[in-house]
Every structure is written in structure tokens, then in C-alpha cells.
Structure 1
Amino acid sequence: MRPVREDGGQGAGPGRGRHRPGRGPYDDSRVYRVGSRALEPGDRSRGTDVASTGERRVGWALRWLPAALIITGAVFYWVTPEGLTSSPFFESAPLVAAGLLSLRATVITAVAAVVVDVLLEIANGTAEYSESIIEMISQSVIGALAIGMNVLIQRNYRRLTSARHVAVAAQRAVLPNPPDGFGGGLLRVAARYQAADADARIGGDLYAVQESPYGVRCIVGDVRGKGLEAVESVAVVVGAFREAAEQEARLAGVARRLERALQREETGRSGLDRVEGFTTAVLAEVDRDGGTLRLLNRGHPAPLLLGSDGGARLLQPHEHALPLGMGDLGTWPDELLEVTFPPGASLVLYTDGVTEARNAAGVFYDPLERMAGRVFDGPHELLDTLLDDVTRYTGGRVADDMALFALSRSRSRFLPVPAHAP
């Protein structure tokens, strides 16, 4: 391993008796995997499959809760003494159904609650009491309100589903599936994206790979912040990288182009994002022969190099540089780290969602310690194993998005599998 400066120098997250007088009623997938197959919101690692099964079981039980409330209210009516009311059970049933069930099921629940309540009053001979009449009217009003709530919930759910589909399409557009093979069959690549929030479909982590006249180049980065502005920065960085990777002879030139692109993008912002917007990133390049790996790190977690024999080491820069977009604070030559990339070796790049993952004791995840001594058949198996290991380590409590990218040098040339192949 030898550090080289690009300028050429060496260096560096309700009984029977109905009322007491005056007493009234009481007041519904995600690791995104990309690489050899399309990114889908339902894709999850094995660790999250167990949690999903548990969620489905809980959901099935909750669907029967409104019926259970009505039955409990009827039983409560007959087994409790005078002075106790079962109305809270009947009134809560349609309200619960409004948030859990369809419109049709909510209507059925609201009608069933009123009908059971009326039949119990008739059977008990209290249907003509003023308190009972008021309670039945109250029950009917609450049922109507529950139906209206369900209509609003279903409308908002449809809007949310549409927004999620748009987010998935945006994720695919910004971070498309990389082809499996590069460098004439010498290199295989894989990428994974896992959102910390199961309902999130897009975030500020990024990756891209580009074949250029100077070799195969890739980037993994993390944009400061969340939301749409972070997504805009992701699109800017990825677009600028693809153009610069084709045109710039050196990685330092690529980094400078990305710096200028981010500065242009920040001029259109206001407030804190204008002065504190930045992107940490690692740029990697494998030369045309496949035997030499070059890295340029801009404030990002160090990549992991895994050998075909299970050996592992972090490729740390000797001098840490500022992230992209912070060039106004100072300039100095970028450090280029150059290492041998032997056959069977794999380079793993990831965002800080991996290195900042913690277990129950608060200890950070160490990819070097956890992956050392393991041998993998290819980049897809490597990233699947790494994601599953992080999930187990944290108990499924992932606090930040994770983008992972693996670049493996094959022992011999292979025929890449087309992206549309099954």
C-alpha cells in the first residue's frame, strides 16, 4: 500500500342495569436490494422476515378486535350488576374498525354494535328508558363518525401508497441497478440499499459505478440531511460522477468536478443547508488490467478489502480530507491510496449506517472484525451476509440508512448475466 498525491508528490429512528343517573357514555417492504434483480419495496433480509411474520400475525388478531369488543359488551351486559354500563365496548368497536378495517367492514361493525345494543335493551325491558334511548342515539352517532373517519383514512392511505410508488420510481431512477459485470468480465459488482425507516423509500445515501477509458470507477457517498433536498444532492452527485468519470484522467479531477457541482447546487438553497451542505464519499478505481485499486476518500468510512483467503483490512487514508462541498474551508491535494487488487479479492464500500450501528450495549458495529476470516462466492453473497449480520447485531434496530457496494475481482473472466434474465 502506498499513498500518492495526485499532484505527483508522495505523502500523505358496557350489566344488566344500564346506568347510574347522570352517567353518560364513555368517551394499518425494507431492504431494497439491487444488483442482479430489480429493487422492490417488499425485499427484506432474513432478519426482518421474522419481524414481518410477527407483524402479520398481530394484524390478523387486530382485525377481529371490533367483533371481540361487541361480544365482550354483550357478555358484560348480562353478567354484571345494575349500575354498570357496557356502552364503552359498543362505542369503541366501530372506532377501532375505522382504523383497522375496510369501509364495508366498518359499516357492518357500526350497524352490528347498534343492533346488538338495541336487542339487549329490548330483551332486558329497558328499551323505553330515556337513558337507554340516549345511549342508542349516541351509539348511532359514533358509528356514523367512525364511518366518516374510515373514509378519510382510506383516502389518505391511497395518497400515501401513491407517494410510496413515486418514491420507489425515484429511487430506481437515481440509484439504478448496476450491471453484474464490468471490465470485460474481470469484475463483478453488487449493491444494496436498506432504509432505517421501513416506510421510507428513498434517502441521502448513494452509490454509482461507471466504466471509463481509465478503468472501472465507482462512488459510495452519504449526503448530509434528509428529505427531498438530500435526494436532490444525491441526483447531482451521481450525475456529475458519471460525467466526470468518463472525462477526468485522475480521481482527484473527478472529486473536483463533484465539488463544483455541489457548490452550484447549494447556491440555490437557503438557510443552514446553504452553508453546511456536504457529502462524504469514497471514489474507487480499478485499472483496465484489474490488478490495481486506487481510492480517494473524502471524509467517508474507510472501505474494507477482503482477500480470497479470508484476510481483511481497512483501507484508511493517511490524511483525512474534508467531505465534498466543503472546499471553501480550505484546499489541499487529494491523497490517492493505491493497493494491489488480487484475483478473488473484494472491495466493500458502505455508508456510516453500517459503522454507526450499535448493539444493545451501545457498542458500534466493526465490519473488519465481523467479516474477517470469511470467504464469499461473490459480491451478492457478501453484501447479503453483511446486511444480515448488521441486522442481527443491532436486533433489527437500525438507526440510519445503509448503502453498500461490493466490487469483486474474478479469478477468471465470466459472461455477465443480462439484467432482464430470470
Structure 2
Amino acid sequence: MIDFVTPPTVSAAALYAAAVLTAASLLSLRGTIVTGVVAFLLDLAMFGYFGYHGSATEISELAMVATVAAIAVFLHRLLHHLQSRLRSARDIAAAVQRAVLPDPPKASGPLRFAARYEAAQADAQIGGDLYAVMDTPFGVRCVIGDVRGKGLEAVRAVAASIGTFREAALQEPSLAGLVERLERAVALEVRQSGSVTELEGFITGVVAEIPPSGSEVRLVNRGHPAPLLFLTDTVLYVEPSQTALPFGMAALATGPAHVDTVAFPEGATLLLYTDGLTEARDEKGAFYDLVDRFAASRYAGADALLDAVLADVHRHTGGRRTDDMALLAITHASDNVPPSGRCG
């Protein structure tokens, strides 16, 4: 249409070429070919309409449009191949995530579980954060952790730690024994990784144990952000009574792990998280403070709470991600509490 309404001295060759190149990225192979043929024929018709048929200008411009159409077909096939490889890589990454960080069970006795994971890179499926939930003869045992470092080394440490936790959680009768097994596994992984010094590799983490009654939770915090306990009318940090070094730093640690016991009444929710949540910043650099933002809210289930937290932190940061973020919520449900949803 632009070629038709402009003077004969104005060439629209660039628009014919642009149409074909645009089709290569947006349409199917057949659509790209049809667009190229239509562009060529329309350009030919315009030359006939303006009386330039057979001129050198017509030949060179039509040759240009035909060449661009051929290049567009090639680019379309190349993009299709690259997109297929990208889909395959994403499917593999998703399978790895499901294998390393499987979804926790929905329920175990009076307990309800939910987990969320967001990698710092938008297209990534897994990073350096970890979580796991195991239903054992000693009660439900959970772990959440944050591996120092990024990339494949961090993923390998995550896999090794989760594997050790799953095995030890079923075998160790005491929570302190489970923590010691994790310590040895992390220290071994650090030595095998080839770090210049063993103190370069460590994992901050919290290990939790909830007995079958579900009325209390036992915690061991190894240099990790304090869990949050959502009660009926308040939200509070569960700070450790004694500070402890992260996993993998046994060379500097002294004494056995200290276990804290906290009441876990019906309707309460325990939120375990990594520092990707508390270190999330807005455009002014202000850190995210979940306690202040959720102190007046009540949520009936673990899934509802995590959905609300993620939506709120995304509003706070404007959608920016600077670190991996893992969330694990455990709710002590009562018979009259629905599986999920906001109470008020």
C-alpha cells in the first residue's frame, strides 16, 4: 500500500524485505515461503503499474527481494533448530530438578507441605539452594540449605547433600546424629571438589524434625536465616539459642549440634527459606521484610502462604532476581482447616 500511494521515484524495497524477514521469526515455514512469494509478486506488479517493467532497477530490486526471501527461509529453519534444542535443554533441566529437588508430599498426618523454587536466572531450573522432606520412623524431617557458590559445582553439592539427607533421615534416631552425617558429607564433597582451602566450601542450612504428634518442632540451625513461625495472631523469627557454623566448617566447630524445641500448635505454619527472600531489594535498595508485611495476615495452608509470599516479593523487587530462592512451608492443620486458602 505504501509503494502504491507514494511517487514512482520512492522505492519500498526495504519494506518488502522487512516483511519476509519478520515472517521468518513469527510464522511457520509455509507462511514464510508464502510471504516471500507474495512480496516478490507485489513488487513485480508495482513495477508494471508504474511503467518500469524490464528496467535495470526492476531486475536488481526483484533480485534483492528474492535473495532476502531465500535467506529468510534459511533463518526460519535455523531458528526452528535452535528452539528445538532449547526446549530439549529445558526438558532435561526440569527432569534434573525433579530428580534432585522433588516436590514434597502434600501431607503426612496432621502436617501439610508446600515448596517453591525460583532460580536467579529466569531460564534456569535449578541452582544452589536445596530443600527436602522425609517421612521417617522418627517423625517428619526437613532440610533447607544454601550452597556457597554458583553453577555446576553448586548443583553437585546440592545433589550430594540431598542424597545424604534422604539416607540419613531414615537411619539416624537423633536429630544431632542426622546433622553430623550431613556435616561429614558436605566436608567430603568440599575436599573432592578441589577447593584451594576447605573453608571455601560450605552450606548454610536448617534441619527440622516434627514428631508424629505434630505439637512441636525441633530445629538445628547451621548459619542459616532463622525460620518464621506463623501463629494465629503473630509472625515471629525462630532464632537459634546458640549460633553454629555452616555445614562443611567442622574444622572450626566444637561440640555436638544444639537442638532447639519450639511449640507448633494447630493452625501454625513454619516457613523455611533461603536468603534469596530476605535479601530481595526494591529499586531503592530496601531489603524485603516478610514479618512487617505479613504480621496482620492469616493463611489457612502452606500453598496459600507461599503463593502470597512470592507474589508480594515480586511486587517488592519489580520482578528482578538477584539470587536463588527456595521456600518450604509446613502447616500443622486441624480437621476444620481447608487444604489451602486465605483465612482473613
Matches within 5 A, 1:109-128: 109-128=35-54
Tell me what 2:253 maps to: 331
Aligned-pair distance for 1:128?
Answer: 2.0
1:212-261 residue CA offsets vs partner (Å, 9 max, x unmatched): 33322101112233333332222111110111112223333222222222
Tell me what 2:291 maps to: 368
Structure 2: segments with no counterpart, 5+ residues: 340-344
Asked whether the 8 Å contact 2:222–2:245 carries over to 1, the reply is: yes
1:173-210 residue CA offsets vs partner (Å, 9 max, x unmatched): 2222222222xx22222212234444222222221111
Alignment partners' CA distance in 2, 1:278 and 1:270: 13
Alignment partners' CA distance in 2, 1:357 and 1:398: 8
Asked whether the 8 Å contact 1:196–1:401 carries over to 2, the reply is: yes
Alignment partners' CA distance in 2, 1:244 and 1:227: 26
Asked whether the 8 Å contact 1:186–1:413 carries over to 2, the reply is: no
Q: 2:193 aligns with which of 255, 258, 269?
A: 269
Tell me what 2:304 maps to: 381
1:219 aligns with 2:107: no
Aligned-pair distance for 1:304?
Answer: 0.1
Aligned-pair distance for 1:313?
Answer: 0.7
Tell me what 1:247 maps to: 171
1:346 aligns with 2:269: yes
Aligned-pair distance for 1:82?
Answer: 5.5
Amino acid at match of 1:303: P
Amino acid at match of 1:94: V
Q: 1:94 aligns with which of 7, 20, 32?
A: 20
Tell me what 2:342 maps to: none
Tell me what 1:305 maps to: 229
Asked whether the 8 Å contact 1:190–1:383 carries over to 2, the reply is: yes
Alignment partners' CA distance in 1, 2:309 and 2:337: 24
State the superposition RMSD in angstroms: 2.5
Tell me what 1:358 maps to: 281
1:4-54 residue CA offsets vs partner (Å, 9 max, x unmatched): xxxxxxxxxxxxxxxxxxxxxxxxxxxxxxxxxxxxxxxxxxxxxxxxxxx
Matches within 5 A, 1:15-414: 74-75=1-2, 77-81=3-7, 83-182=9-108, 185-270=109-194, 276-307=200-231, 309-328=232-251, 330-333=252-255, 334-411=257-334
Asked whether the 8 Å contact 1:186–1:414 carries over to 2, the reply is: no
Amino acid at match of 1:341: F
Alignment partners' CA distance in 2, 1:202 and 1:97: 34
Amino acid at match of 2:286: V
Alignment partners' CA distance in 2, 1:350 and 1:393: 17
Amino acid at match of 1:348: L
Aligned-pair distance for 1:319?
Answer: 4.4
Higher normalized contact order (CA 8 Å, seq sep 6+, divided by chain length): 1
Deviates most, 150-159 or 209-218: 209-218
Percent of aligned pairs sharing the same letter: 47
CA spacing shift, 1:414–1:370, aligned 2, 3 Å: closer
